[in-house]
Chain A
């Protein structure tokens, strides 16, 4: 489809191209001016498996998350534990195993500060863990606000605010209030399981995706806001400002909001990946998103996850029930 520049090489391929510098001028000619460094051609670098961490879990590993500093990797498993791995020169070492959930851990996420970690489970709870300089982990809160499985947790990009998505059809937000973690907002509107949530780069908006085949955009309104949206006490209110329906034909398992470009990507049970862009000029109260790209058979089975590269604009990774991981280069179409 429009806006795509083909598929990157998948995991498992050995070798690959290397970007070459300018060739020296032929005899008698002055050397050509130094070229600026352009990104490698599509058939360039490949992805090679560097390590297989097989000793940590007894059952399915459902989610992994890198710490903000890049030194640690957290893995959430159906065996009810979360392993923390530390990157070493020669591989990864399991530094600790977080226990406590009663059954499958579905998701794990690091706070931007790197001092906090959140996990969630089918046991309906969200746990907040604190880690100190000595790599000691301590559970500082068990949040039992959801009434069903919690599918996903994600942190605000720059505040210690946590969001969770649940089988109970809601999204909940949590923050620390007087030394205790509390649920400060519940976002209702989806008509079925909410599988994932993502904050935009500013943290003022949240996107949620659901089994009801819609993506909803929520906006934060602080107390005393000029739009006149009512708030209770000192907590901001989150209102649904956009409902993307009619685009997806099956459950939407993941949503990713690029913090570099603002593009919104979705992973769907109809095997497709879609990218939405906000139409400009932006109207904050009623933003409109349009479908900028649609890869109908991105994978041969359900797409479960999509993730934007945090440094390289337009680079998207996806994975699927078909066992493959794919890398995509997305370019915003001219007219959107």
Chain B
């Protein structure tokens, strides 16, 4: 009798364990998906060149893997949040980096997304002002119609060209 009961309880335990596994299975899968997407985003932004210096944002630690956050917000749609650390507290340079990040992702990120870009907390005196600007799509669109600004934001290729000339 006790053997049967023992078997029953063992089976019950197993059933409960399996159902728990199935339930919990969604959470790690979603997390893994989000992490995958975050890496995809990081891969795109780390090679962006700093507007001032001949280094990438990754080399200058303006962006790091952990500075990208991705959340699933719908079917095949993700919210991407980037918190970058500008190298100098210069307002216009920080805004420029924000612009570079936004434009590069707008053009290169293959999956459906909404994007928020912020200066990492405590790194700038006017961070609220900068954050508001770089997240106002009308301001961003108007800025990108300025040929000088567009040239700077897009200078990635141009800079690469000059750099490779130097190497020869």
Contacts and interface: CB of A to CB of B under 8 A. Distances in A.
Contacts of A193: 132, 136
B114 interface: yes
A3 to B, nearest CB: 21
B27 interface: no
A151 B74 CA distance: 29
A250 B114 contact: yes
Contacts of B138: 62, 106, 151
A59 B145 contact: yes
Contacts of B145: 59-60, 78
Given A167-B136, A192-B132, A193-B132, A269 B142 contact: no
A248 interface: no
A192 B145 CA distance: 25
Q: Is the interface of A mostly helix, strand, loop or mixed?
A: loop
- Bin the interface of chain B by size: 10 to 19
A147 interface: no
A254 interface: no
B114 A269 contact: yes
B16 interface: no
Nearest to B137: A302
B15 interface: no
Interface string B111-132: 0101000000000000000001
B139 interface: yes
A192 B128 CA distance: 11
B8 interface: no
B136 A78 contact: no
Interface string A261-278: 000000001100000000
Contacts of A302: 137
A250 B136 CA distance: 12
Interface string A235-278: 00000000000000110000000000000000001100000000
B139 A270 contact: no
Contacts of A200: none
A62 B138 CA distance: 9
A66 B73 CA distance: 38
Interface string B131-147: 01000111101100100
A122 B142 contact: yes
A270 B136 contact: no
A60 B142 contact: yes
14 contacts: A59-B145, A60-B141, A60-B142, A60-B145, A78-B145, A104-B142, A106-B138, A149-B139, A167-B132, A167-B136, A193-B132, A193-B136, A296-B74, A300-B112
Interface of B: 73-74, 112, 114, 132, 136-139, 141-142, 145
Given A249-B73, A269-B114, A302-B137, 15 more contacts: A59-B145, A60-B141, A60-B142, A62-B138, A103-B142, A122-B139, A151-B138, A167-B132, A167-B136, A192-B132, A193-B132, A193-B136, A211-B136, A250-B114, A296-B74
Which 10 A-B residue pairs are closest in the complex by CB-CB distance?
A: A104-B142, A59-B145, A78-B142, A78-B145, A250-B114, A60-B145, A193-B136, A60-B141, A122-B142, A167-B136
